[in-house]
Amino acid sequence: MLNIQEPPMEYLHEEFGAVRSRMPQDALCLLRGIRIFGNIDAPIFSKIFKHTTAINVSAGDYLFKIGELDENFFIVQSGAVNIFLATSTGANLSLRVVEPGDSVTSLLSFLEVLTDEPKEYKTIFAKATRDSVILKVPMKAFQEAFKEYPDVYKSAIQIIMTRIQRVFFIALHQHLALSSELVNTSNRKKVSTVFRPAGLGGGLDISPPPKHRSGFSNIFIDDNVKESYRKTIENDFYKYMSSTGKRHSTIYEREIKDYPSEEVLRVTLPESNDDLSVPLVESHHNLDTQYTHEDGLAGLPLEELPLSSTESVPSVKSNLSLLHARTARSDTDHSDEERKSLTDPVLISERDQEQIRSAKAEFMQELGVQDYAGLNIQVEHIPGGTCIVREENVDDNKLMYVVAGSLFVTQKSSDGSNDVHLFTAFPGDMIGGLAILTGEASVFTIQSRLPATIAWLPQEDCLTLIDSDMNVTLKIAHSVLKRMSPFVRQFDFALDWVFLEGGQAVYRQYDRSDSTYIVLTGRLRSVKTLESGKRKEEAEYSKGDLVGLIEMVTSTSRNTTVMAVRDSELAKLPEGLFNAMKLRFPSVVSRLMYILGCRVLEEQNMHQKPSAGNIPNFICDSPKTFHFSPHASSISTLAIVPINTSVPHESFSYELGHSLNVIVPTTVLTSACVEKLVGKDVITSNAYKLTNFLAQQEDRFKICVYVCDMDFSPWTQQCLRQADCILIVGRGTSEPTVGQVIVWLGDCILYCG
């Protein structure tokens, strides 16, 4: 008879008390506060600490005011500080109360100071709610300290960009359906003058190279073709066919008749008609008009967007000989020959080669790079309707610079039903930097609804540049930063970052519900204490989940204790921030009502047989319940520990990985494998690069099997800290003997007990 065993008591209990430290209180407070920038080594910390000053702020006094320069990093040592948002109506909304040990800063402001472009406080100010002692650190102190340690400098920026991506463009988009609200669509930039449309003179003809023209030159009309012009083209087509006595194709006829008025036409003209001049764009002024037009359309589903309009539609002469007109929407309609690289010297003229060199120079000037001879910079003509980067695809990542035309940047709606237009990139804009810096899959889709010319750099070359020149990292980060909306900056001031070791509690049962949490890395477990004193596991949460949202929205006390299963990083969203969002974005209220309704349905179906239609799989606060989500309740990371050195645990791990891979995507990681993929010294010398790589593996695979070394090495320690579950493997045919790793694990269990 099977005897069901209960998990050990330690499995469902959080740790109490804090680890004592001999550091001075102010130094310890600073050390905890700057953890948002990653692991700071002692030499860097000592340089930053030299610039730290303690200031006293009386209750009711300002810590900082609107109009002051945002260039300092604050940490509350004692007392409390309230952060306010000044609204356009004159009201002041409380976003967050900062308690001792927490910091008052914006990661976006930190990046602006690093790029030597600090801004003033425009809508945010802070007051002390009681007499407080505040540690003040100039952000320039970080810049000076980081200059001697470029790897730490680069890691800090990458950590910030990763948090921006995971909090704003993944978690808030997925759970609260925010998308276009997070980006600034009114960003204007000087139009690139390297590739001017051929119709304007002096620019590169971006039509296909002569080799592929078959006796004709292609001209693209990128205006909003109205019905009258469609009829004009149709009449010209029939006149041409009648005058030549040629029998026209029914395919061409159908394409013209069925052609919608708001499409892009590719008009093919005989090369001999040199007197015909149909400019691609009327003027640079029209580019600005187009930008304003696009601004008003941000946030609409992509299929509802008309193509860009200009102030005047280019005239088409009555004797226009139309040979072929076709749509350019579908990215599947373009062959490899149509999407041509303009870097092949065989296919282009000497004049065009000079223009291409100028385009590369302008691209590299945007990055602040002087010597780029060894870089694989591509200049490519993109037909209309081509998808360049797909959302959730890590293999498409590239850094792009728009030379001519425009690129649409979209994101799938939270329910996946359509694509939401975020912004349009115009000549002179650089895009794709967020995915380059984070190393994760792109959260956007980038496509050319109109023909365009871009210069782009593969991800590998970008990483080479980043490793060799710190300023490149700042330039790329700045290209992302300027796209953030004012709301994101206000939101960023209200955020707090929480770091937990395995066993530490996020909050405890019956605590006040004044915030919710987004899991950035790691794993959390929710445990409920029954009246009998027995503890019951309720749910588990992993990266991207919102924890404690329902309790905060309903203003009820915590009904469970949530603890970290392993080392975890969380973003804390206070209640005041949600109140501000509800006032500014009414759609958030509808979304919260939807979540509450789904929670009610979950409670009703708790004891019923689960079905695929019960609860959507993206609901925030019911993520990893054992009733409705079998995958979520299972482990995602597994550490394999040999009981002694005679156990062939690597062979066992690969066999286990092959078996699991039949069920769900699985990867097996050993120390040798990681060093080969990431770098030889990554395990011992680059904590951020290692943890970021492991986080990416956990994103791409449902289960990651970590194979520990035979001894208690740094890799073994990393495996144990990453693991949701530890599997000890021994030989069944021999007497068990205890190895070094097992002895250490036993000591840890005794310590926890």
Q: What is the pLDDT of residue 635?
A: 76
pLDDT at 146 over 60: yes
pLDDT at 260: 37
> Domain spanning 1-149 has what CATH number?
2.60.120.10
For range 307-321, the mean pLDDT: 32
What is the model's pLDDT at position 369? Answer: 86
Picking from 560-564, 619-623, 656-660, 734-738, which range would have the lowest pLDDT averaged per residue? Answer: 619-623
Question: For residue 571, which phi and psi values (nearest 5 degrees)?
Answer: -105, 130
- Both tokens of 455, joined, read 């210069």
> Where, residue-wise, is CATH 3.40.50.300 in the chain?
635-752
List, in order, residues 6 or more apart from 640 with CB less than 8 Å away.
649, 652, 653, 656, 705, 706, 707, 708, 727, 729
* Calpha distance 720→716 (Å, rounded): 6
Q: Rounded CA gap, 552 and 578, in Å?
A: 10
- How far, in Å, CA of 201 to CA of 267, rounded? 19
**Complete DSSP assignment for 630-687:** HHHHS-SEEEEEESSTTS-HHHHHHHHHHHHHHHS-EEEE-HHHHHHHH-TTHHHH-H
The residue with tokens 């035979």 is 710
Tell me: pLDDT of 71 over 80: yes
Distance between CA atoms of residues 169 and 569, nearest Å? 17
Please tell me the predicted confidence (pLDDT) of residue 600.
Answer: 77
**Contacts of residue 110, Cβ cutoff 8 Å, sequence gap at least 6:** 73, 139, 142, 160
pLDDT of residue 244: 44
The C-alpha atoms of residue 694 and residue 717 are separated, in whole angstroms, by 14
* Terminal Cα-to-Cα distance of the chain (whole angstroms): 30
Whether the per-residue pLDDT at 311 is higher than 50: the answer is no
pLDDT of residue 710: 87
Question: What Rg do the C-alpha atoms of the chain give, in angstroms?
Answer: 30
Query: How many whole angstroms separate alpha carbon 154 and alpha carbon 571?
Result: 21
Residue scoring higher pLDDT (417 or 663)? 663
The pLDDT assigned to 331 comes to: 40
How many Cβ atoms sit within 10 Å of the Cβ of residue 488?
22
Are the C-beta atoms of 316 and 231 separated by less than 8 Å? no
456 in Cβ contact with 417 (< 8 Å) = no
Kindly report, residue by residue over 403-428, the tens digit of the pLDDT.
989 999 999 988 778 889 999 999 98
Q: Which residue has the higher pLDDT, 509 or 737?
A: 509
**Which tokens go with 538?**
């309720």
- Residue 227: which pLDDT band, with cuts at 50, 70 and 90? very low
Return d(Cα 736, Cα 652) in angstroms, integer: 17
Res. 234 pLDDT band, cuts 50 70 90: very low
Among the listed residues 670, 676, 677, the one whose alpha carbon sits nearest the alpha carbon of residue 649: 670
Q: Say what percent of the chain tops pLDDT 90.
A: 26
Please count the other Cβ atoms lying within 10 Å of the Cβ belonging to residue 567: 17
Q: Which residue has the higher pLDDT, 215 or 478?
A: 478
H or E segment to which residue 83 belongs:
strand 72-86
DSSP class of residue 415? T
Q: Residue 322: its pLDDT value, please?
A: 27
Q: Strand order in 515-521's β-sheet? A: 496-500, 568-574, 515-521, 546-547
The string of DSSP letters for 538-588 reads EEEE-TT-EESHHHHHTT----SEEEESSSEEEEEEEHHHHHHHHHH-HHH
**Cα(425)–Cα(431) distance, integer angstroms:** 8
At 66, is the pLDDT very low, low, confident or very high (cuts 50, 70, 90)? very high
CB burial of residue 1 (10 Å; 0-12, 13-18, 19+):
exposed
Mean pLDDT of 552-556: 89
Q: What is the dihedral of CA 586, 589, 595, 601, to 10 degrees?
A: -120
| CB contact burial 438-467 (16+ within 10 A = b; e otherwise) | bbbbbbbbbbbbbbbbbbbbbbebbebbbe
Residue 157 · residue 466 · CB < 8 Å: no
Considering only residues 28 and 308, tell me which one the structure prediction assigns the higher pLDDT: 28
Q: Residue 561 corresponds to which tokens in the numbers above?
A: 């204790």
Mean pLDDT over residues 639-665, rounded? 91
Residue 261 banded pLDDT, cuts 50, 70, 90: very low
Q: What is the mean pLDDT of residues 261-271?
A: 36
Residue 628 has pLDDT above 90, yes or no: no
Match 């995958």 to its residue by tokens. 631
CB 504, CB 14: distance < 8 Å? yes
How confident is residue 230, by pLDDT bands cut at 50, 70 and 90? very low
Read off the tokens for 553.
């929205």
Gap between the Cα atoms of 223 and 307, Å rounded: 7
Q: What angle do CA 297, 301, 306 make, to 5 degrees?
A: 55
Q: Rounded distance, CA 180 to CA 165, Å?
A: 14
Q: Residues of CATH 2.60.120.10 domain(s) within the chain?
A: 1-149
CATH superfamily assigned to domain 635-752: P-loop containing nucleotide triphosphate hydrolases (3.40.50.300)
Amino acid present at 239: K
The H or E element containing residue 239 is: helix 227-244
From 183-197, 218-232, 568-582, 698-712, the region with the lowest mean pLDDT: 218-232
Cite the DSSP H helix spans in 338-452. 350-367, 433-438
- The predicted-structure confidence for 458-468, as pLDDT tens digits, reads as follows 988 898 888 88
Q: Across the chain, what does the average pLDDT equal?
A: 74
Higher pLDDT, 351 or 455: 455
What phi and psi values does residue 561 have, to the nearest 5 degrees? -100, 130
Band the pLDDT of 9: cuts 50, 70, 90.
Answer: low
Nearest to 119 by CA among 129, 133, 109, 106: 109
The more confidently predicted of residues 372 and 83 is 83
pLDDT of residue 594: 85
Question: Tokens representing 83?
Answer: 């952060």
Instruction: Please return the burial class of 413, using the count of CB atoms within 10 Å of its CB with bins 0-12, 13-18 and 19+.
Output: middle
Structural tokens at position 510: 């019956």
Kindly tell me if the per-residue pLDDT of 57 is higher than 70.
yes
The DSSP secondary-structure symbol of 122 reads S
pLDDT at 91 over 80: yes
CA 364 to chain centre: 24
- The tens digit of pLDDT for each residue in 718-753 reads 998 888 888 989 888 877 777 777 777 766 554 343
Burial zone of 732 (CB within 10 Å; 0-12 exposed, 13-18 middle, 19+ buried): exposed
What pLDDT band is residue 11 in, cutting at 50, 70 and 90?
A: low
Question: Would you state the pLDDT for residue 672?
Answer: 92
What's this model's pTM, rounded to 2 decimal places? 0.72
